[in-house]
Structure formats: C-alpha cells, structure tokens
Amino acid sequence: MTIYQEVILDHAENPRNTGNIQNPTNTVIVYNPLCGDKIKMDVLIKKDRVIDVRFQGQGCAISKAASSLLTDWVKGKTKEVLKNMTKKDMMKLLKIELGPNRIKCALLPLEALQKLLI
Amino acid sequence: MLNPDTIKKDFPIFKNIPELIYLDSTATSLKPKIVIDKLREYYETYSANIYRGIYHLSERATEEYEKTREIIVSFIHAKSSEEVIFTRNTSESLNLLCYSLGEEIIKKGDEIATTIMEHHSNFVPWQQLLIKKGGKLAVIKLDKDGGLDVLHLEKYISKKTKILCLTYVSNVLGVANEIKKIIQNAKKINPSIITIVDAAQAVPHRKVDVQDLGCDFLAFSSHKMLGPTGVGVLWGRKTLLDAMPPFLYGGEMISEVHVRNTKFKETPHKFEAGTPAIAEVIALKEAVRYLEKVGLKEIENHEQKLASYAIKRLGDEFKNLHVIGPKNAENKGGIVSFYFKKYHPHDVAQILSEKNICVRAGNHCAMPLHEELNLTATVRASFYLYNTQSDVDALIDGLHDVSRILK
C-alpha cells in the first residue's frame, strides 16, 4: 500500500492551520537536520485547553500532512490528553505505515506539540 | 564489452528479487556469489583464528587472510604488503590517520587542507582535531563550473599546511578530481605536505595506482567494491607508517609485553589490534578478482555511459528537475544527484521505492557540500557493473510517476 494516500496528499498540498497566532501562549521551532525539515508551531491555550494551533514549515509531504492532521485534531483537547499522545496515536491519525527511516518525518510535528505543552 | 545482463546472473540477490532496481551502489554494492561462497567456505572448512594457532586450520586461515593483502598490493600497485592495513572501513582508515598521524604532527597554528565535497568521514576527524589543537581547516571550494577550485591552490595551501586530505571521486557529484596533478601542485607549494586520498568511490570503479597518484595515504572500503561489509583498507608509504604510533592496542599487534613496557610489531600488524574480520578479509580477494576479470576500464566506461544516458533523459524530460555537479565533467563516475524544485527528496525516494527502485535521498554524508549549494537534500542514483540501461529507464518512468502523484 502506498503511503501517498489521498488524505495525505490532500493535507500535504493544502495544509490546514498554517500561519501564526497573534498572541500565542507558546511558540517553538523543531528541526530534522537530516531531511532539512523545519516546523514552527504556535499554540493558544486557555484553561488547560488548546484553543488554536498554527504551524509554518518546510519539509516532505509526510511531515506537512502530519502537521496538518495533528493540528486539526488537537483543537479543543486538554493539555493532559495531548501530553500523553504517543507515536502510535500519531500513526493512527495518519492511517499509514511508515518504515524506521521515514517515521521521524511524521513525528516531528508531535515533537513540536509536546514541546509547546511543557 | 561488459554485459550487465550476464553479470546480474552472478549476483544471487537478483534471483531472489528479480524486480530489484538497485541504484545505490555508492552507499554499498551488491555481492556476487563467489564472495558469499568464500565467506561460507571459511566458516565451514577452516574457521579458526589467524596467526596464533599451530594447527592446520589456523594456518590455512592465515594464508587466506594474507593472500588478500598480497592481492590488494598488486590491485592498487603498492610496493609491499607492509603498506596495506586492514581496518573496518574507510572511516576507520581515516580516523586511524587522524589519531596516529594527525595527533602527532599537528601543533597549534598548523593547517590542514580539505575540500568542500568531502564525505563527513574525511572532514569531521580533521575538523575536530584542529578544534582541539587550535589549528585551521582550509576548505577548497568549488569553481564556477562546479568542480574543485584547483587552479588557486595557493589560496588554500601554504607552508603551514601539514596535511592535504581530499576525495578522489565525490560521492555526490560523481566528479573525479585530478588527484595526481593536485598532489604535484600541493607539493610544489609545500614539499613536506602529507597527502591523504579518500578513494572509497574510486577503487571500486576505476583503476587506482597509488604510486602513479603520488599520494602518501589512500583509504577505501570493501563493501563498496563487491566485497563483504566490515573491512576497510588503508594504504600508506612504509616510511610514514614506520614512524607512526599504533592506533589501537591489544592482541596481535605486540611483539613483547612486560609489566612496565611493550614492544609493538612492525607495520601492518602494528595497526591491526584484535581479531580482525577474518572471513570478510578472506572473501574480499574474490571481489578484487571479480572486478579484475570484468576489467575496471570496462566498468568505468559502462558506468559513464549509463550516467550520460540518465543525465540526458533527466534533462530532456523534466523541466523542474536539476542535476547537480559539473555539466560536462569528462571524468565523471556513475553517480547522478538531482533535486526537484517542488518535491522533497524523501518523497521522491519513497515513491521510487514502491516500484522497487532503490535510490538515496538526503545529504549523503556530505552536508558541507549541500550547504555550499544551498540545498538541504538531493536524490542520488548511482550505477555499477550490474546496472542496465533498462534500470535507468525504470528510474525515469518512476520519476514520471512521482510527478503524477505529487503533482
């Protein structure tokens, strides 16, 4: 099965939740130097709940799609829920299987999110 | 004429995976049956440690091991077997030099010259040594055509330059540097400069003659030249090796050990501490024999033909694709690196992989070069003696699929 499913390609080509948040609660930049991927992510949190999250970045289709899908999913969730998100949860969101060399592309936005919630 | 279809039959992996399109021999080559058989022969018929056993099996293993050293001597035209050291890989060969030679001769304020197109293994050891010692790394840049800026060597090399370390063939650009001329010119500027050649991408693909090149040291890996993994070679001039201290201490490299002092063996054994990769060294000679039987000139021509064909089709059929490196390098090996403006190299490689096409995507352990070119990553296709024109056709078809899928 190809990992370039329609959902992935759609989110890679038209990523949701891009841009900046005016007065973010927190902001972070994460890198994957080997691929040259870079994601800047802003979050707005009120009463321990994610109200908004936005990202900007460059990278492969998988990292872009992962950022887009993740930022869609996290809105409205509590910090507690998001802090406990695992690699497995991230893969469920993407609905594809990735080999060991590619999985880090999908996990980069999760790394950004979890750094934002610290 | 080299016939890759016949050659493919000598490589069992193509029988097991007939649809395999392997375009990553620059990372590691596939292995012919005779090499795999030789590994098995050692383990099944004379599996013993070398040098130490006074019994037949050990003597046979020692003979087979040392025979490889002799074969390497004639393969690269060394003067004697004392000049050929077995290591784990090219990286270890270069690190051995950095620790045993660099540590000894580099003092504060000294310089080492290298090039922007080095693999990390011929860049980082020297960079780190100089940070520690307080010296300077001079990096030979690219000229406007994308080759090495060798016309202005005096910009990079002076009497302060103790070592020049450079790659023979770039593992990204595929360009073969004019090693002989560069070394001659470097020695004109500084006659006592020590020259080190990373020949990991040269020895598998072209005839290399260390005496003709005029270098002082040369390093390469078995696994890139049809041989087993876990073996590297370091060739060096005997007078220089004699003067160098050991790199690793341990078994097999000593002649006498007392409570207060130790005497070391002579080169090459002085540099081969511990039980080496016996089976792998033994099998390496079958790889050399195979390469010599096919003919290195034939291999070189075959790879160039495939690379030219690939470059032409890439240029003709893809508007948004760029091949990096000198456009008209006469002396180019079978390596083609490129990028699409719109698609990330990892996505390109992933889609190709779904069609059983193996290419490399990333910075190919040459980050300084990618930075210099202002790129984060490229896709690299590399060719060897078992690749056919239809492998290139499959690559091109695969890239058309990439354009269709990623739009």
Domains of chain B with CATH codes = 4-24+295-406 (3.90.1150.10), 37-292 (3.40.640.10)
The H or E element spanning position A46 is strand A37-46
Pairing between strand B194-198 and B217-221?
A: parallel
Chain A: give the shortest CA distance to residue B82, in Å: 40
Q: Are B37 and B290 in contact (CB under 8 A)?
A: no
> What confidence tier does B144 reach under pLDDT thresholds 50, 70, 90?
confident
Q: How far apart are CA B155 and CA B140, in angstroms?
A: 8
Q: Which residues of A touch B344 (CB under 8 A)?
A: 35, 59-61
Q: How far apart are CA B177 and CA B137, in angstroms?
A: 20
Q: How far apart are CA B1 and CA B301, in angstroms?
A: 9
pLDDT of residue B217: 98
pLDDT of residue B1: 82
Q: Which residues of A touch B346 (CB under 8 A)?
A: 35, 60, 62, 102, 105
Question: pTM for the full model?
Answer: 0.93
The H or E element spanning position B129 is helix B124-133
Q: Are B378 and B370 in contact (CB under 8 A)?
A: yes
Chain A: give the shortest CA distance to residue B344, in Å: 5
User: What's the mean pLDDT when you consider all of chain B?
Assistant: 96
- Is A61 touching B (CB cutoff 8 A)? yes
Q: How far apart are CA B194 and CA B162, in angstroms?
A: 6
Nearest residue in chain B measured CA to CA from A60: B344
* Cross-chain residue pair B350–A3, CB shorter than 8 Å: yes
* Domain A6-116 belongs in CATH node 3.20.20.70: no
- Among the ranges given (A103-107, B220-224, B264-268), the one the predictor scored with the smallest mean pLDDT: A103-107
pLDDT of residue B128: 98
* Cross-chain residue pair A102–B405, CB shorter than 8 Å: no
Q: Are B365 and B119 in contact (CB under 8 A)?
A: yes
Q: For residues B38-67, give the mean pLDDT.
A: 95
Residues 6+ apart with CB under 8 A from B48: B55, B57, B58, B60, B61
Q: How far apart are CA A20 and CA A43, in angstroms?
A: 9
Task: Give the nearest partner residue to B377 out of A4, A36, A62, using CB atoms.
Answer: A36
> What confidence tier does B145 reach under pLDDT thresholds 50, 70, 90?
confident
Q: For residues B73-90, give the mean pLDDT.
A: 98
pLDDT of residue A102: 85
Kindly give the parts of chain A with pLDDT less than 50: none
> What confidence tier does B329 reach under pLDDT thresholds 50, 70, 90?
low
Known catalytic membership, residue B365: yes
* Cross-chain residue pair A36–B406, CB shorter than 8 Å: no
Q: At what angle do helices B389-406 and B296-317 cross, to 10 degrees?
A: 30
* Cross-chain residue pair B350–A102, CB shorter than 8 Å: yes
Q: How far apart are CA B162 and CA B189, in angstroms?
A: 11
Instruction: Identify the bridge partners of residue A32 per DSSP, sorted by sequence position.
Output: A37
Q: How many other C-beta atoms lie within 10 A of the C-beta of residue B156?
A: 21
What are the structure tokens assigned to B54, written together?
A: 């006074």
Residue ranges per structural domain of chain A: 6-116
Q: For residues B359-388, give the mean pLDDT.
A: 94
